[in-house]
Amino acid sequence: MMIAVFGTGYVGTVTGTCFADLGNRVVCVDVDEARIARLRGGDPVIYEPGLKELLQKNLKAGRLEFTSEAGRAVDGADVVFICVGTPPRLNGEADLSYVQNVARTIGTHMRDYKVVVNKSTVPVGTYDLVRRAVRDAQEGRGIPFDVVSNPEFLREGAAVRDFQNPDRIVVGTDSERAKETLSKLYGPVARATRPVMFTTIPSAELIKYASNAMLATRISFMNELSHLCETVGADITDVAKGMGLDSRIGSRFLHAGCGYGGSCFPKDVKALAQLLEQQGLTSTLLQAVDYINERQKRSVVQKLKKFLPDLEGKTIAVWGLAFKPRTDDVREAPSVTVIEQLARAYAKVRAFDPEAIENGRRALAHLSGVEFVKDAYAAVEGADALVILTEWDEFREPDLGRMKEVMRAPIIVDGRNILVPREVQALGFMYASIGR
């Protein structure tokens, strides 16, 4: 099948590359010429396990192409995917201007029937906006098309695997022709136990927001509970395990920590809350979820100040910049909030991350006193404290003896609960974690 993908960010690059790997002919479109050049050269721009190999394989096979020529991509496609960003406005509402611009571009260049697939995360009702934009851009030519909602469920750090082995494929459509096309397109990755789920368009648009908001709610619930655990002497990890053994609850997303981040959860919680308000409904729960998360990010420095009341001039090592392991994404990451707080307290920060150094450097370019190093132990050398903000595997079993020798003060604030308290404290470290 001939596919055009608009947007070469996280979702667009993974989607286009993986569809090409299934044997389709895929053209990915972006206005960023520098990004296009890197992708043409086999550089996926983002860090995602397995993506680089697939990208280079399908470029070499001639099934995958990157271009800034929108007209040629649309003209040759059977299916056109919209995979552009929907960043939040100041009030939390999703900015749909990029989606609308792509829809106009599709309408301008199409010459025959297309299935227009909205894969960007969008609020309920975006289907109508896209359909109007495509139709109006045709300027009366009356070329038939269908608009489909097909939300993405790609976890950063596991996106290639999620595409190839999805736990669900959701398609919202009111067209039998579009349904047939999407069934054929997703046939190679659908499973007997996990077939393509066809729904109404509003339902498909809402499923993505609802899923992310539910997961964010579970995280914020545990983070709220972690403060109670610290007060009454309970251990949040034991509480989470006991809860998770209940089959009605399950163990996923019950880990307390320093807050969630990334391109989805913060934005989608705010957008869903805004959508509820627009419909005259209340968003009290989602507002609380967002508030708890932001408070949790700030709690890390509060814990640190119990050991170091005056941070001015102190050197604080930070392990982890990415919002989660196996990605280089620092968008809305707790590390950004924590490092900004440290900088405001006139502390010096020495940060390390296995993959997110460059993105962290860009996100924190407005701050002075932040140094980025290429080794975890270089970060702690001469440091007055260590703060752990991302649960990379290489941070789970560090050489604590070596660390104590090179650190100025044996202080660790573990924002991801990856170390064993009794082991750390037995070596003489002052140690704080979340809810333990």
Domain of 308, CATH number, reads 3.40.50.720
Residue 17 lies in a domain: yes
Kindly compute the dihedral angle of the four CA atoms of residues 66, 69, 75, 76, in this order, to the nearest 10 degrees.
Answer: -20
Residue 62 lies in a domain: yes
**What is the pLDDT of the chain when averaged over all its residues?**
96
Asked if residue 410 and residue 279 are part of one domain, the reply reads no
Domain that holds residue 345: 296-432
pLDDT of residue 91: 87
pLDDT at 294 over 90: yes
Which two structure tokens, joined as six digits, stand for 256?
Answer: 């307390």
pLDDT of residue 234: 98
Asked if residue 99 and residue 226 are part of one domain, the reply reads no
Name the one residue in this structure whose structure tokens are 């969630």: 260
User: Average pLDDT of 413-434?
Assistant: 97
Which two structure tokens, joined as six digits, stand for 275?
Answer: 């959508």
Q: How many domains does the chain have?
A: 3
254, 271, 289 - which closes a domain: 289
pLDDT of residue 194: 82
d(CA 189, CA 199): 19
Residue 204 lies in a domain: no
Asked if residue 386 and residue 338 are part of one domain, the reply reads yes
Name the H helices within 83-164.
Answer: 97-109, 126-137, 159-164
- Flag the least confident range among 86-100, 250-264, 294-308: 86-100
pLDDT at 92 over 90: no
pLDDT at 391 over 90: yes
HSE-up of residue 58 (Cα within 13 Å, Cβ side): 29
What single DSSP character describes residue 94? Answer: B
pLDDT at 432 over 90: yes
User: Average pLDDT of 150-154?
Assistant: 96
How does strand 430-432 pair with strand 169-172? unpaired
SS3 93: coil
Asked if residue 279 and residue 300 are part of one domain, the reply reads no
pLDDT of residue 195: 85
pLDDT at 395 over 80: yes
Asked if residue 336 and residue 228 are part of one domain, the reply reads no
Residue 183 lies in a domain: yes
- Do 271 and 94 form a contact (C-beta atoms < 8 A)? yes
435 conformational bin, left if phi > 0, alpha if psi -120 to 50, beta if neither: left
In this prediction the pTM is: 0.93
- Do 21 and 57 form a contact (C-beta atoms < 8 A)? yes
pLDDT of residue 191: 83
Question: CA quadruple 272, 277, 280, 286: dihedral positive or negative?
Answer: positive
pLDDT at 211 over 90: yes
pLDDT of residue 303: 98
Phi, psi dihedral angles at 388 (to 5 degrees): -105, 120
Name the H helices within 308-354.
Answer: 334-344
Asked if residue 245 and residue 151 are part of one domain, the reply reads no
User: Looking at residue 258, which CATH number applies to its domain?
Assistant: 1.10.1040.10
If 0-12 CB within 10 Å is exposed, 13-18 middle and 19+ buried, where does residue 155 land?
Answer: middle
* Percentage of residues in the chain having pLDDT higher than 90: 96
Asked if residue 332 and residue 185 are part of one domain, the reply reads no
Residue 182 vs residues 57, 143, 281, 284: alpha-carbon distances, Å: 25, 20, 34, 37
pLDDT at 90 over 90: no
User: Average pLDDT of 137-153?
Assistant: 96
pLDDT at 377 over 90: yes
234, 265, 289 - which closes a domain: 289
Write out pLDDT tens, residues 161-200: 999 999 999 999 999 999 999 999 999 999 877 889 999 9
How far, in whole angstroms, is CA 99 from its chain's centroid? 19
Asked if residue 259 and residue 377 are part of one domain, the reply reads no
* Percentage of residues in the chain having pLDDT higher than 70: 100
Known catalytic residue: 264?
Answer: yes
pLDDT at 279 over 80: yes
pLDDT at 370 over 90: yes
289, 308, 333 - which closes a domain: 289
24 C-beta neighbours (distance < 10 Å), count:
19
420 C-beta neighbours (distance < 10 Å), count:
15
d(CA 91, CA 107): 30
Asked if residue 244 and residue 272 are part of one domain, the reply reads yes
Residue 108 lies in a domain: yes
User: Average pLDDT of 309-332?
Assistant: 98
Asked if residue 43 and residue 18 are part of one domain, the reply reads yes
Which two structure tokens, joined as six digits, stand for 37?
Answer: 């050049």
| Confidence band, pLDDT 50/70/90 cuts, at residue 407 | very high
pLDDT of residue 318: 98
Please tell me which residue in 18, 83, 229, 264 is annotated as part of the active site.
264
Asked if residue 318 and residue 373 are part of one domain, the reply reads yes
d(CA 176, CA 354): 47
pLDDT of residue 188: 94
CA angle 422, 238, 420 (to 5 degrees): 20
Asked if residue 248 and residue 168 are part of one domain, the reply reads no
What single DSSP character describes residue 81? Answer: E
Which two structure tokens, joined as six digits, stand for 187?
Answer: 């046939």
